[in-house]
Amino acid sequence: MDSTKEKNGNYKDDLLLRMGLNDNKAGMEGLDKDKINKIIMEATKGSRFYGNELKKEKQVNQRIENMMQQKAQITSQQLRKAQLQVDRYAMELEQSRDLNNTIVHIDMDAFYAAVEMRDNPELKDKPIAVGSMSMLVKEILADYDPNFLAMSLDEAYLNITKHLQERQNWPEDKRKYFIKTGNPLENGIAPNTMLAKVCSDKNKPNGQYQVLPNRQAVMDFIKDLPIRKVSGIGKVTEKMLKALGIITCTELYQQRALLSLLFSETSWHHFLHISLGLGSTHLARDGERKSMSVERTFSEISKAEEQYNLCQELCSELAQDLQKEGLKGRTVTIKLKNVNFEVKTRASTVSSVVSTTEEIFAIAKELLRTEIDADFPHPLRLRLMGVRLSSFPNEEDKRHQQRSIIGFLQAGNQSQSAPRCILENTDKDQFLKSLEMSHKKSFFDKKRSERKWSHQDTFKCEAVDKQSLQTSHSFQVLKKKMNENLETSENSNNSQIFTCPICFREQRSISLEAFNKHVDACLDGPSISGTSNMFSHSHASSTEVNKKENVYPSFSQSEKQDYETHQRNSEINFIELPETEDNPAKAESVDALSDKHSKEECASLPSKPFNIEKCCQNSSSTVSLEDIASLSRQESSQPYLQALVCPVCNLEQKTSDLTLFNVHVDVCLNKGIIQELRKDKVNLANQPRENTKSTDNSGRVQKTATKPKRPGLMTKYSASKKTKPNNSRHTLDVFFK
């Protein structure tokens, strides 16, 4: 489907034509900036789409201009040196040229099938829609190459080298294979994928083209080939190369030294491959998926509430798609396109994987909120919204996690604690899963654990959750940011009032050092967290108990009490349990609970075995460390709490889902950092720069009250029906010999 490639319209010319300025042969470059901006404004009145196209074109022109300036500064000596280097690489490539394979590229025009599918999603699983390619043709393709590579519904590569060898012994009448499809089909035969792809485009429609497997044939084929025909060279690259006088592959080869100086290594390597007629000779299977997303275009939506709803719907769709493939990821990205066609993406990465609607939405919502807030009081006038999930853990990540778990279990065995009986008496997988859940501790927990473990020489716990320690990245960023802020404030003013980001108390008139100590103390906190609790039962040493007593040197007594209450609130909040008869939800105050718990913990030292059976009876389907810890507490008939207060924003979260809550904490944290960084960026951008040409070519245009023209195919998001195009099918019989 390269039709779009050829038909990409020249919006500039079109607009100039409409404005009666088309006699300006010099084009945009020949106009001064005011005129350009005026044109953009005019264009935007008529069509925001054109306006944005012009803006983008201007940016590309700027890139080209920069490139030309760079080119002008290249000395002949640099060029000679580059020539040597490039030619050395070209020689290597030449030597590795492989002409022994026969690759076929099949290109079917499945456009109509695609349209059909889009408008009748219910057909998706039926043979009629996909059948033309996948049901009918795929089997045939497999005859030629069982390992053929399907690029999409309508496109595939075959390596028929082996087939051809076998085929030589076939009787004549068997050497023809007819394919009858409802769609046109093109194919090309060449020694590598790049050439094969170009070939299939050569004799369209329904053509076949072959490049013989000898160097001369390849070079002849390449000689006058416009670079734009090659996969990977798009509109922009074409334009940039054109500015350097490069249109054909021959010219691309001639300018190879210059290109190595103007483009990235990846790019000029790619260029060199093309200009030598080289390409992939084996069909590499696609690796693992890197991301998954949903996005939707609609007529303008400006109300924040609708935008949040939309966002949630998208998250829900995404979550369903993710579930089909069993994927979970750490990075959520939202994409926004406003009515002026300006696209923005905003991403946030959390410390543990997410996959449910609620988890994804918790992150996406905040990203969206940040954007809405940034433009306040103006609404975001959106025409598209998308949500993407990425940063899927790779196999190594998973193995690493497994190792951590196994290591943890072994560590548990070595010590005299209860997990031994877990391995023997319970479903191991279940327990592994529960441990996986324990990765979803909030970063505060992780940080506490990290610090605690580093002090516990007697407890060989390093295998537990190396990942948790590493994933406290967000924390590192926060702390770094904090330190930066502190440093600057210290430099400017010695009597700054610091607000501790952990306990949210203002620290007046104290030195930076004292403040840091305070923050560290806050981070260490009382070690009665739910997570570390189970270890405390069997491992807490007397030194650690002593440490607890001396941990807040800079607190007044009342402060200390307040602080402890706050901390206990946060910490105990991590406990989550289903309500059972044994475990009434009503009950004692937080303080009473904490005190009681604390005392009991001390009393139970040094070791208290678990009752794992009770664990299994009472816990919900998945058992986390938190659950185990709280269950052990439950043995002493203590209640649990469900009010979750975010330690970052300090607001109570209306959820009883631990994972969700932890996602919230991560997001809250990210948000703070992002806003800080943005502030810095804005400040930076506002500073006048010397000797720097302003690259701000945003060409911001008037916001007019005129309602945008409703695009034909688009409907309001909530509406499910779409107009059906007139899709008369091509009916052509196609064959290849």
Partner DNA sequence: GCGGATCAC
Partner DNA sequence: TATGGTGATCCGC
Instruction: Using CB under 7 A, list all residues that contact DNA.
Output: 1-2, 4-5, 7-9, 47, 49, 56, 59-60, 63, 114, 151-155, 197, 230-238, 263-267, 287, 289-297, 321, 330-331, 333, 343-349, 383-384, 386, 388, 390-391, 473, 670, 674, 711-714
Q: Nearest Cα to 114, choosing from 96, 100, 128, 102? A: 128
Between CA 308 and CA 455 the distance in angstroms is: 45
Q: Choose between 106 and 218: whose C-beta lies nearer to DNA.
A: 106
Q: Which is nearer to DNA, 162 or 369 (CB)?
A: 369
Q: How far is the CB of 682 from DNA (least distance, A)?
A: 13
708: left (phi over 0), alpha (psi -120 to 50) or beta: beta
b (16+ CB within 10 A) / e for 568-583: bbbbbbbbbbeeeeeb
Residue pair 317/355 in contact (Cβ under 8 Å)? The answer is: no
Are the C-beta atoms of residues 336 and 344 closer than 8 Å to each other? Answer: yes
Unique residue bearing structure tokens 């997570």 = 531
Q: CA distances (Å), 279 to each of 198, 326, 571, in order?
A: 11, 34, 58
Nearer to DNA, 301 or 519 (CB): 301
Q: Select from 529, 528, 531, 545 the least CA-distant residue to 606.
A: 545
Least separation in angstroms between residue 641's CB and DNA is 31
CB-wise, 298 or 574, nearer to DNA? 298
Report the nearest approach of DNA to the CB of residue 334 (Å): 8
The distance of closest approach from Cβ of residue 46 to DNA in the complex, given in angstroms and rounded to an integer, is 10
Q: How far is the CB of 231 from DNA (least distance, A)?
A: 5
**Are residues 354 and 318 in contact, defined by beta-carbon separation less than 8 angstroms?**
no
Tokens of 123: 């057909």
Question: Residue 161 in contact with residue 240, Cβ under 8 Å?
Answer: no
For residue 240, the minimal CB distance to DNA (Å) is 8
By beta-carbon proximity to DNA, the closer residue of 175 and 681 is 681
Instruction: Provide, rounded to whole angstroms, the least separation between the CB of residue 49 and DNA.
Output: 5
**Residue closer to DNA, measured from CB, 72 or 603:** 72
Contact predicate 216/122, CB 8 Å = no
Decide if 259 contacts 351 (C-beta within 8 A).
no
User: At its nearest, how many Å lie between DNA and the CB of residue 513?
Assistant: 31
DSSP per-residue string spanning 338-367: ETT--EEEEEEEEEEEE-SHHHHHHHHHHH
Alpha carbon of residue 56 to chain centroid: 24
Closer residue to DNA (CB): 294 or 464: 294
Residue 345 · residue 333 · CB < 8 Å: yes
Whichever of 222 and 503 has its CB closer to DNA, that residue is 222
Closest distance of CB 377 from DNA, Å: 21
Backbone angles phi, psi at 404, to 5 degrees: -60, -45
Choice between 678 and 729, CB closer to DNA: 678
In whole angstroms, the minimum distance from the beta carbon of 142 to DNA comes to: 20
Burial class (CB in 10 A: 0-12, 13-18, 19+), 74: middle
Q: Of the two residues 150 and 432, which places its CB atom closer to DNA in the complex?
A: 150
Under 8 Å between Cβ of 384 and 296? yes
Give the shortest CB-154-to-DNA separation in angstroms: 6
Whose Cβ is closer to DNA: residue 2's or residue 635's? 2
